[in-house]
Amino acid sequence: MDSIVRRHGGRIGVQSTLGVGTVFSVFLPVASKPLQEETRRAPALRFGTGRILFMDDDPKICELTGAMIASLDYTHDIARNGEEALQLYRRYLAVKRPYDAVLLDLTVIGGMGGEECFKRLRELDPEVRAIVTSGYDDDEMVRRYLDMGFVGYITKPYRVGDLARTLKAVLQPR
């Protein structure tokens, strides 16, 4: 400790009384001006603009992912199942403004899941950019869906940075 104090232009004082105790005093010089700390800026997560369709049957996941998508400056719609996703996609396709990307949960209880929805979306729009969202992280499974024509795969639970990177990769100019 003494060497650290000396390197900063200070000194250490010691006072000791037998049976009473010891007091160490550290004296450091006063700075002539406030220290300007240089901090690293966090990398920007906002990568661009676009319209995203997100499909999941879990209300909490819809709420969280919707907030993530909004924080990345994308506009978005949420569908609770494949039927709703198809309805929304048809509506925007009819006015020549299809979604820039579609995030599809594979498993939807009591409704059309992501795989079937993707097949139907491709019939409507062969250029659809669909991303699998799944709780399963298996290389063989990922390869299967990418071979099927999905353009990305993101494993739940994901963070905003994971979502941002996936969307950025998928939304690169065609």
Separation between Cα atoms, residue 96 and residue 76, nearest integer Å: 17
Check whether 122 has a pLDDT greater than 90: yes
Distance CA 14, CA 85 (A): 75
Q: Dig out the tokens for 22 from the structure.
A: 């010891």
Strand segments, DSSP code E, in the chain are 11-17, 21-27, 51-55, 75-79, 101-105, 130-134, 152-155
For 37, the 3-state DSSP assignment is: coil
Residue range 51-170 in CATH 3.40.50.2300: yes
Statement: residue 138 has pLDDT above 90: no
pLDDT in tens, 145-162: 999 999 999 999 999 999
pLDDT over threshold 60, residue 121: yes
**Using CA atoms, how far apart are residues 78 and 100, in angstroms rounded to an integer?**
14
Q: What is the mean pLDDT of residues 5-22?
A: 82
pLDDT digits (tens, 9 = 90+) for 22-60: 888 888 888 777 766 544 344 344 455 689 999 999 999
Dmax of the chain from CA atoms?
A: 91
Question: How many angstroms separate the CA atoms of 53 and 84, rounded?
Answer: 10
Q: What is the pTM of this model?
A: 0.71
The answer to whether the CB of 81 falls within 8 A of the CB of 108 is: yes
Residue 41 DSSP symbol:
P
For residue range 68-99, list pLDDT tens digits in order.
999 999 999 999 999 999 999 999 999 988 99
Helices 139-148 and 114-124, packing angle to 10 deg: 20
* Residue type present at position 54: F
The closest of 26, 25, 24, 23 to 10, measured between CA atoms, is 26
Residue extents of the structural domains in the chain: 1-28, 51-170
Position 29 scores a pLDDT of 82
